Amino acid sequence: MESPFRLVDLDLDHSTSPPPGPDRVLVGMAAQPRAVAGKFDVEFDVLLTAAPGAPRPWVSCPDPHATARRLRDNVTRQPAACVALVQLLRMGAALPPPDRLLVESLAYSTLQGGAGFRAWLASARRRPRPPRPAAEPVRLRRDGVRLTVVLDRPWVRNAVDAATRDALCEALEVAVADPSIAGVDLHGHGPAFCSGGDLTEFGTARDPAEAHRVRVHRSPAALLQRCGPKVTAHLHGACVGAGIELAAFAGRVLAAPDTVIRLPETGMGLIPGAGGTASLPPRIGRERTAYLALSGTPLTAVEALRWGLVDEAIDASPAGPRTSGAVR
Q: What's the confidence (pLDDT) of residue 112?
A: 93
What is the C-alpha separation between 34 and 14, in angstroms, rounded? 14
Question: What would the pLDDT profile of 42-64 be if each residue is shown by its tens digit?
Answer: 689 999 999 999 999 999 999 99
Question: What would the pLDDT profile of 110-124 be if each residue is shown by its tens digit?
Answer: 999 999 999 998 887
Specify the 3-state DSSP secondary structure of 262: strand
Q: What percent of the chain has pLDDT over 90?
A: 77
Question: What would the pLDDT profile of 119-176 be if each residue is shown by its tens digit?
Answer: 998 887 656 567 777 889 999 999 999 999 999 999 999 999 999 999 999 999 999 9
pLDDT band per the 50, 70, 90 thresholds, residue 328: very low
Q: C-alpha distances in angstroms, 154 versus 134, 137, 184, 197, 269?
A: 10, 9, 21, 14, 27
Mean pLDDT, range 76-84, rounded to an integer: 97
232 phi, psi to nearest 5 deg = -115, 120
Question: What would the pLDDT profile of 21-38 be if each residue is shown by its tens digit?
Answer: 688 999 999 999 987 765
Average pLDDT for the chain = 90
For the sheet containing 299-300, what is the strand order? 238-240, 260-262, 299-300
Question: What would the pLDDT profile of 195-239 be if each residue is shown by its tens digit?
Answer: 999 988 876 777 888 889 988 899 999 999 999 999 999 999 999
What is the C-alpha separation between 305 and 297, in angstroms, rounded? 16
Q: What's the confidence (pLDDT) of residue 326?
A: 39
Enumerate domains of the chain plus CATH numbers.
5-77 (no CATH), 85-322 (3.90.226.10)
What is the C-alpha separation between 324 and 328, in angstroms, rounded? 9
